[in-house]
């Protein structure tokens, strides 16, 4: 693929004056990882530049450099033609740079007005905060952006996420920020709220702000942005006007390869029942769950967030107690009362919350991998490091883990590589059933494909897989059958032959077809 | 783009990259050795009585009892818990031993009561923390008052004396030349604890729990059970320390071992154990115990009053908690610059 040709083709027409902010040759490395290498970026007044890239492409690092949290190893940052150094969050603030994050970094227990004016509150003659002026100016700012419905005295925590974004924007307006960074602002918004946000962005554009917009959603990018910059693996691989680039071209730049055939082809060899769950119930989370998982099968669990899928899997894995119901594994009844018992029986669980439940950050890779297998790798309780390294190497290399050494802290790995460590840890226990909860959430496309290919390989070897996923392509691309859950119950079980996304969504939401 | 970007090429990942010698030189333990040597030299100049084998032998009594508790406390703090009731356990165990001796129980019985009381108290703490899911800092502040309060009720302002003659060996006896029974016990316990923490799967699980208890549980570590065992161990070591102190002093007052918990925790933290859990080493704790012994003994030789020593312990505790955090912050700033 030729990205160079594309960048040089960028037409010079429609260039509004000069860029407000320019990054050139910015490089940032962390131990073992090159997060950014010689990247550039320009933001123009009155225009939205979309920053596009897979997870791990370096977008977050760039945002942190722009907001003064990280300092680059090399490169220059120019604001309005003057070279600046952004050594702290305060420096960034002084340069008129403000960021709106996917989870806003405002203060929940302060009022709307306090959040808007934190750090630059209007003062009285005596140097104390002028509360009245602050309130009225907050109301003014909110009204000016069509958000008069927000009460300046309201506690921030009582607002919905969309209104919190509005407060963040109001803050940006109040400090007269000329450069606004929006890091996936629409991730938690409804369609209506997104449209409101876009109208606000249009307003910011008219006021001549330079906006950096980070999103994974192409419809949004084409709706709101004029320019694009594409990052891949920490490098800038293309930039230009969106009007000149098709969605397909940009996707190709992002992944550096064609995106078809993400899901592995496989010929399922489905055998006898492996795990039978009957009438499993929990006082609050799920009720009367019965399903069967067969040998060599990938059973997808689809549902809306809050349908009780993760809670059900926690119960199968022995973490959550059930109130009723039975389970049979490979013909024998099981009732795990702890994860340790479930693992012993042959059921393992790759959790959705990787950082909290999956990996022990602060410990090296090999210790993470051997943790559930310590009984086998040690001799009457005495550690055998050679065995542990051997075990860790066997499974991490099989998963193509990218790490500088097995003694590297697992916390320094990217999300995709951490997930590989979690999967390696479970494979080392030689399980019968492996439950994957949102296995590819927050990991880059390359690692995603590796996880999918590996799942296919596992079932080929006779393992049984339960895959909880909220991603329709993943459910449809990987499952042999799909269980749809709704409000703690099983709404339907489908054979994945000719199954379509619409049916799944309708079943999950309880909408009649 | 070529196909090599898509199909991953398996590559060999090395076991480790760090150079052991370099990291050993820069470790916290190395710093502690340097500090210990410095204080030793300063002490030998400060007092003409310091460099005498018997003087040095006496010095060891300044840390062996607290050091024994610190070994177990290190494991507990690494697992993310803490026990503030250790000194109160000593008071209660010593009081019960005194009661037993009073009614004519002989040395083995007294010993058993001391050690047993420690174990039971530790199990009580462990049950409250792991069984009811209460925070250990609150539980052990409570049991600290409970245990010592019980000792006060039993003893009032009295003192128990009249322990069997053979009981004196534990705190006053020597196994060989200048080496006391206490020192020998501490040395053996240190080796055992080192082995358990650094060389067994039990020790590995303690580190895992301290770094991330939830992920450890999700990896099949029986978190509650291990924490319960650690509370029992800490109680047990407190019981053993109670035997040693009572034997050394030959009497019991309810105020015995007052304030020991702070010195024990200072030892553990000075030894490089993270107060937040998840990191630490037994070698560091042993070195820290030695340093604390050297310092308090040196101050004693210089006739520094006890109250000044407790000010010193307080300052040391703040310093050793602050230092690693500041060091880390400094290091990070340097990396970011």
How is chain A split into domains, by residue range? 1-96+178-260, 109-175, 271-346+432-513, 361-430
Residue B7 lies in a domain: no
**How many CB atoms within 10 Å of residue A5?**
9
Nearest CB to B211 within list A360, A366, A446: A360
Nearest CB to A256 within list B1, B10, B18: B1
- In angstroms, rounded to a whole number, what is the distance separating the alpha carbons of residues A358 and A353? 7
Number of domains in chain B: 1
Best mutation target, B14, B201, B207, B225, to test chain A (most A CBs within 10 A): B201
For the domain spanning A271-346+432-513, the CATH number is 3.40.50.300
pTM value is 0.74
**CATH code where residue B178 lies:** 1.10.3470.10
Q: What is the pLDDT of residue A255?
A: 67
Instruction: Tell me whether residues B215 and A404 touch, CB distance under 8 A.
Output: no
Instruction: Tell me whether residues B215 and A378 touch, CB distance under 8 A.
Output: no
Q: Nearest C-alpha of chain A: how many angstroms from B67?
A: 25
Nearest CB to A397 within list B10, B214, B279: B10
Best mutation target, A36, A354, A374, to test chain B (most B CBs within 10 A): A374
User: Mean pLDDT over residues A277-306, rounded?
Assistant: 91
- Are β-strands A489-495 and A481-486 bridged in parallel, bridged antiparallel, or unpaired? antiparallel
Residue A260, pLDDT above cutoff 80: no
Least confident of A45-59, A315-329, A392-406, A437-451: A437-451
Q: What is the pLDDT of residue A220?
A: 83
Nearest CB to B215 within list A1, A317, A359: A359
User: Mean pLDDT over residues A305-323, rounded?
Assistant: 90
Instruction: Tell me whether residues A70 and B336 touch, CB distance under 8 A.
Output: yes
Cα radius of gyration (chain B): 22
Contacts of A170 (CB under 8 A, 6+ apart): A112, A116, A138, A141, A142, A145, A147
Residue A30, pLDDT above cutoff 80: no
Q: What percent of chain A has pLDDT over 90?
A: 39
- In angstroms, rounded to a whole number, what is the distance separating the alpha carbons of residues B256 and A240? 78
Topology match between the domains A1-96+178-260 and A271-346+432-513: yes
Cβ distance B278 to B207 under 8 Å?
yes
Q: What is the pLDDT of residue A172?
A: 79
Q: What percent of chain A has pLDDT over 70?
A: 90
Q: Residue B149: helix, strand or coil by DSSP?
A: helix
pLDDT along chain B (337 residues), means of 10: 40 74 74 89 85 88 95 98 97 96 94 98 97 95 96 91 92 92 97 97 97 95 97 98 96 92 92 91 95 86 81 80 73 52
How many contacts, defined by CB atoms under 8 Å, are there between A and B?
A: 122
Q: What is the pLDDT of residue B7?
A: 41
Q: What is the pLDDT of residue A313?
A: 96
Reference B39, options B31, A169, A271; nearest CA is B31
Residue A4, pLDDT above cutoff 50: no
In chain A, what residues touch B13 (CB-CB under 8 Å)? Answer: 393, 396-397, 401, 403-406
Q: What is the pLDDT of residues A396-436, one digit of tens each?
A: 988 888 888 899 999 888 778 898 999 999 999 999 999 99
Is domain A1-96+178-260 annotated with CATH 3.60.60.10? no
- In angstroms, rounded to a whole number, what is the distance separating the alpha carbons of residues B262 and A134? 48
Query: In terms of DSSP H, where are the helices of A235-323?
Result: 247-255, 309-316
More confident residue, A246 or A495: A495
Residue B337 lies in a domain: no
Q: What is the pLDDT of residue A16?
A: 56
Q: Nearest C-alpha of chain A: how many angstroms from B103?
A: 43
Residue A461, pLDDT above cutoff 60: yes
In chain A, what residues touch B14 (CB-CB under 8 Å)? Answer: 404-406
CA-nearest residue to A386 within chain B is B15
Q: What is the pLDDT of residue A9?
A: 40
- In angstroms, rounded to a whole number, what is the distance separating the alpha carbons of residues A272 and A35? 47
Q: What is the pLDDT of residue A1?
A: 40
In chain A, what residues touch B8 (CB-CB under 8 Å)? Answer: 400, 450
Q: What is the pLDDT of residues A127-177, one digit of tens each?
A: 888 888 899 989 988 888 778 888 989 888 888 777 887 888 888 778 778
Q: What is the pLDDT of residue A247?
A: 77
Nearest CB to B208 within list A342, A356, A371: A371
Q: Nearest C-alpha of chain B: how many angstroms from A378?
A: 7
Task: List the strands of the sheet with A324-329, edge to edge.
Answer: A289-294, A273-281, A324-329, A332-334
Instruction: Tell me whether residues A358 and B208 touch, CB distance under 8 A.
Output: no
Place of tokens 């060989």: B176
Reference A39, options A272, A325, A231; nearest CA is A231
CA-nearest residue to B212 within chain A is A360
- In angstroms, rounded to a whole number, what is the distance separating the alpha carbons of residues A184 and A191? 14
- Are β-strands A235-241 and A464-468 bridged in parallel, bridged antiparallel, or unpaired? unpaired
Instruction: Tell me whether residues A360 and B220 touch, CB distance under 8 A.
Output: no
Task: Name the DSSP class of B4.
Answer: G
Cβ distance B123 to B234 under 8 Å?
no
Q: Nearest C-alpha of chain A: how many angstroms from B206?
A: 11
Residue A192, pLDDT above cutoff 80: no
Instruction: Tell me whether residues B18 and A407 touch, CB distance under 8 A.
Output: yes
User: Mean pLDDT over residues A452-472, rounded?
Assistant: 90
Reference A139, options A93, A131, A162; nearest CA is A131
Q: Nearest C-alpha of chain B: how many angstroms from A193?
A: 36
In chain A, what residues touch B5 (CB-CB under 8 Å)? Answer: 256-257
Instruction: Tell me whether residues A375 and B15 touch, CB distance under 8 A.
Output: no
More confident residue, A289 or A118: A289
Residue B21 lies in a domain: no
Best mutation target, A72, A257, A352, A360, to test chain B (most B CBs within 10 A): A360
More confident residue, A444 or A377: A377
In chain B, what residues touch A407 (CB-CB under 8 Å)? Answer: 15-18
**Where in the sequence is the domain holding B137, given as residue range(s)?**
52-323
Q: What is the dihedral of CA B290, B293, B294, B297, to 10 degrees?
A: -170
């Amino acid at each position: 693929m030729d990205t160079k040709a594309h960048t040089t083709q960028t037409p010079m027409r429609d260039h509004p004056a000069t860029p407000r902010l320019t990054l050139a040759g910015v490089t940032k490395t962390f131990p073992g990882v090159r997060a950014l290498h010689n990247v550039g970026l320009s933001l123009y007044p009155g225009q939205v530049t979309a920053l596009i890239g897979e997870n791990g492409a370096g977008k977050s690092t760039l945002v942190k450099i722009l907001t003064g949290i990280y300092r680059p190893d090399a490169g220059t940052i120019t604001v309005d033609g003057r070279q600046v150094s952004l050594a702290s969050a305060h420096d960034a603030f002084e340069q008129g740079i403000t960021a709106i994050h996917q989870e806003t970094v405002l203060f929940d227990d302060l009022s709307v007005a306090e959040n808007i004016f934190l750090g630059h509150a209007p003062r009285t003659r005596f140097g104390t905060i002028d509360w009245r002026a602050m309130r009225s100016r907050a109301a003014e700012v909110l009204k000016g952006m069509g958000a008069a419905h927000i009460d300046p005295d309201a506690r921030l925590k009582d607002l919905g996420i969309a209104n919190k974004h509005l407060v963040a924007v109001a803050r940006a307006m109040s400090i007269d920020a000329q450069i606004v960074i929006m890091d996936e602002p629409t991730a938690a918004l409804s369609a209506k709220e997104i449209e409101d946000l876009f109208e606000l962005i249009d307003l910011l554009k008219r006021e001549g702000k330079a906006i950096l917009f980070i999103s994974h959603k192409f419809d949004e990018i084409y709706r709101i942005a004029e320019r694009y910059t594409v990052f891949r693996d920490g490098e800038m691989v293309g930039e230009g006007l969106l009007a000149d680039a098709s969605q397909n071209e940009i996707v190709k730049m992002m992944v550096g390869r064609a995106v078809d055939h993400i899901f592995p082809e496989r010929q399922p060899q489905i055998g006898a029942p492996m795990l039978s769950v009957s009438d499993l119930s929990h006082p609050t989370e799920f009720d009367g769950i019965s399903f069967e998982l067969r040998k060599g099968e990938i059973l997808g669990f689809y549902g809306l967030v809050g349908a009780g899928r993760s809670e059900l899997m926690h119960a199968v894995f022995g973490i959550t107690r059930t109130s009723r119901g039975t389970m049979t594994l490979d013909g024998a009844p099981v009732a795990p009362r702890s994860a340790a018992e479930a693992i012993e029986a042959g059921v393992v669980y790759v959790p959705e919350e990787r950082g909290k439940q999956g990996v022990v950050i602060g410990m090296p890779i090999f210790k993470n991998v051997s943790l559930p297998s310590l009984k086998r790798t040690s001799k009457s309780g005495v550690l055998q490091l050679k065995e542990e390294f051997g075990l860790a190497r066997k499974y991490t290399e099989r998963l193509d883990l990218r790490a500088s050494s097995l003694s590297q802290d697992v916390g320094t790995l990217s999300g995709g590589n951490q997930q590989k460590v979690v999967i390696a840890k479970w494979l080392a226990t030689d399980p019968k059933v492996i439950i994957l909860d949102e296995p590819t959430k927050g990991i880059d496309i390359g690692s995603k494909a590796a996880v999918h290919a590996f799942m296919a390989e596992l079932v080929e070897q006779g393992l049984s897989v339960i895959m909880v996923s909220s991603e329709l392509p993943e459910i449809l691309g990987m499952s042999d059958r799909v269980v749809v859950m709704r409000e703690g119950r099983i709404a339907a079980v489908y054979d994945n032959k000719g199954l379509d996304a619409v049916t799944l969504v309708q079943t999950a939401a309880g909408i009649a077809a | 783009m070529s196909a090599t970007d898509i199909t991953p090429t398996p590559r060999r990942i090395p076991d480790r990259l760090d150079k052991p010698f370099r990291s050993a030189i820069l470790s916290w333990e190395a710093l502690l050795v340097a500090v210990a040597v410095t204080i030793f030299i300063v002490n030998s100049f400060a007092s003409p009585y310091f460099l005498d084998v018997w003087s040095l032998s006496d010095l060891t009594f300044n840390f062996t009892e607290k050091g024994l508790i610190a070994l177990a406390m290190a494991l507990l703090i690494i697992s993310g818990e803490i026990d503030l009731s250790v000194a109160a356990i000593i008071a209660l165990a010593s009081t019960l031993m005194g009661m037993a001796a009073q009614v004519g129980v002989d040395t083995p019985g007294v010993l058993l009561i001391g050690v047993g009381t420690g174990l039971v108290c530790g199990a009580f703490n462990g049950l409250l923390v792991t069984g009811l899911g209460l925070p250990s800092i609150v539980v052990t502040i409570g049991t600290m008052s409970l245990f010592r309060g019980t000792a006060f009720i039993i003893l009032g302002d009295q003192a128990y004396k009249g322990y069997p003659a053979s009981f004196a060996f534990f705190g006053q006896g020597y196994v060989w030349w200048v080496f006391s029974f206490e020192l020998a016990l501490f040395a053996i316990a240190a080796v055992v604890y080192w082995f358990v923490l650094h060389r067994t799967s039990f020790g590995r699980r303690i580190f895992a729990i301290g770094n991330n208890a939830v992920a450890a549980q999700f990896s099949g570590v029986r978190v509650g059970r291990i924490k319960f065992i650690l509370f029992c161990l800490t109680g047990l070591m407190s019981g053993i320390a109670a035997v040693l102190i009572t034997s050394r002093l030959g009497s019991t007052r309810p105020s015995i071992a007052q304030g020991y918990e702070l010195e024990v925790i200072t030892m553990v933290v000075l030894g490089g154990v993270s107060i937040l859990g998840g990191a630490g080493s037994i070698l560091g704790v042993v070195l820290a115990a030695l340093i604390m012994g050297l310092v308090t003994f040196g101050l004693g030789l210089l006739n520094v009053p006890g109250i000044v020593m407790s000010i010193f312990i307080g300052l040391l505790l703040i310093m050793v908690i602050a230092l690693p955090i500041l060091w880390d912050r400094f290091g990070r700033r340097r990396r970011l610059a």
